[in-house]
Amino acid sequence: MADMQSFIIGIIIVGITLVIGIYISATMATTLMVDNGSGTMINSIASNSANSLVTALAGGSAWITILVVVGFAVIVLGMLSEGLGRAASGAGPVY
Protein backbone atom coordinates (compact mmCIF):
# COMPACT_ATOMS: atom_id res chain seq x y z
CA MET A 1 0.00 0.00 0.00
CA ALA A 2 2.92 2.36 0.65
CA ASP A 3 4.10 1.84 -2.92
CA MET A 4 0.74 2.96 -4.23
CA GLN A 5 0.73 6.09 -2.06
CA SER A 6 4.22 7.13 -3.16
CA PHE A 7 3.32 6.44 -6.81
CA ILE A 8 0.18 8.60 -6.59
CA ILE A 9 2.03 11.42 -4.82
CA GLY A 10 4.76 11.28 -7.48
CA ILE A 11 2.22 11.46 -10.30
CA ILE A 12 0.47 14.41 -8.64
CA ILE A 13 3.77 16.28 -8.24
CA VAL A 14 4.73 15.64 -11.88
CA GLY A 15 1.29 16.74 -13.07
CA ILE A 16 1.31 19.94 -11.04
CA THR A 17 4.84 20.76 -12.21
CA LEU A 18 3.83 20.17 -15.82
CA VAL A 19 0.75 22.37 -15.56
CA ILE A 20 2.69 25.18 -13.88
CA GLY A 21 5.45 24.95 -16.52
CA ILE A 22 2.93 25.13 -19.37
CA TYR A 23 1.14 28.08 -17.75
CA ILE A 24 4.35 30.04 -17.18
CA SER A 25 5.58 29.34 -20.72
CA ALA A 26 2.26 30.39 -22.27
CA THR A 27 2.29 33.59 -20.22
CA MET A 28 5.85 34.32 -21.31
CA ALA A 29 4.90 33.74 -24.96
CA THR A 30 2.24 36.45 -24.82
CA THR A 31 4.42 38.79 -22.76
CA LEU A 32 7.37 38.53 -25.15
CA MET A 33 5.42 39.62 -28.23
CA VAL A 34 6.63 42.88 -29.80
CA ASP A 35 4.84 45.79 -31.43
CA ASN A 36 5.55 46.12 -35.14
CA GLY A 37 5.03 49.88 -35.05
CA SER A 38 1.45 49.94 -36.27
CA GLY A 39 -0.09 48.76 -33.01
CA THR A 40 -0.15 45.10 -34.06
CA MET A 41 1.65 42.64 -31.84
CA ILE A 42 3.84 40.06 -33.60
CA ASN A 43 5.80 37.12 -32.30
CA SER A 44 9.43 37.65 -31.42
CA ILE A 45 12.08 34.94 -31.44
CA ALA A 46 11.68 34.55 -27.67
CA SER A 47 7.90 34.32 -28.04
CA ASN A 48 8.25 31.62 -30.70
CA SER A 49 10.61 29.61 -28.50
CA ALA A 50 8.19 29.87 -25.55
CA ASN A 51 5.37 28.65 -27.81
CA SER A 52 7.59 25.75 -28.91
CA LEU A 53 8.17 24.87 -25.26
CA VAL A 54 4.43 24.85 -24.58
CA THR A 55 3.89 22.54 -27.56
CA ALA A 56 6.68 20.21 -26.40
CA LEU A 57 5.38 20.03 -22.82
CA ALA A 58 1.83 19.43 -24.00
CA GLY A 59 3.01 16.62 -26.28
CA GLY A 60 4.86 14.96 -23.41
CA SER A 61 1.68 14.52 -21.42
CA ALA A 62 0.81 11.49 -23.56
CA TRP A 63 3.86 9.72 -22.14
CA ILE A 64 2.79 10.56 -18.61
CA THR A 65 -0.62 9.02 -19.29
CA ILE A 66 1.02 5.81 -20.46
CA LEU A 67 3.28 5.74 -17.38
CA VAL A 68 0.29 6.25 -15.07
CA VAL A 69 -1.64 3.37 -16.64
CA VAL A 70 1.36 1.05 -16.53
CA GLY A 71 2.12 2.07 -12.92
CA PHE A 72 -1.41 1.37 -11.74
CA ALA A 73 -1.41 -1.95 -13.61
CA VAL A 74 1.80 -2.98 -11.85
CA ILE A 75 0.36 -2.02 -8.47
CA VAL A 76 -2.91 -3.91 -9.07
CA LEU A 77 -1.11 -7.00 -10.37
CA GLY A 78 1.24 -6.88 -7.40
CA MET A 79 -1.67 -6.72 -4.98
CA LEU A 80 -3.44 -9.58 -6.76
CA SER A 81 -0.38 -11.82 -6.82
CA GLU A 82 0.30 -11.09 -3.15
CA GLY A 83 -3.28 -11.96 -2.23
CA LEU A 84 -3.30 -15.10 -4.34
CA GLY A 85 0.02 -16.20 -2.83
CA ARG A 86 -1.37 -15.80 0.69
CA ALA A 87 -4.53 -17.71 -0.25
CA ALA A 88 -2.53 -20.56 -1.76
CA SER A 89 -0.41 -20.96 1.35
CA GLY A 90 -3.49 -21.12 3.57
CA ALA A 91 -2.62 -17.96 5.48
CA GLY A 92 -6.19 -16.90 5.99
CA PRO A 93 -9.76 -17.06 4.75
CA VAL A 94 -10.41 -16.46 1.09
CA TYR A 95 -13.52 -14.43 0.32
CB–CB of 68/11 below 8 Å? yes
Q: Judge whether 93 lies within some domain.
A: no
Domain region containing 23: 2-88
Is the pLDDT reported for residue 52 higher than 80?
yes
- Write the pLDDT tens digit of every residue in 60-73: 777 778 888 888 88
If one counts the domains in the chain, the total is 1
- Write the pLDDT tens digit of every residue in 8-37: 888 888 888 888 988 998 888 888 888 777
Is the pLDDT reported for residue 1 higher than 70?
no
Between CA 22 and CA 5 the distance in angstroms is 26
Between CA 3 and CA 71 the distance in angstroms is 10
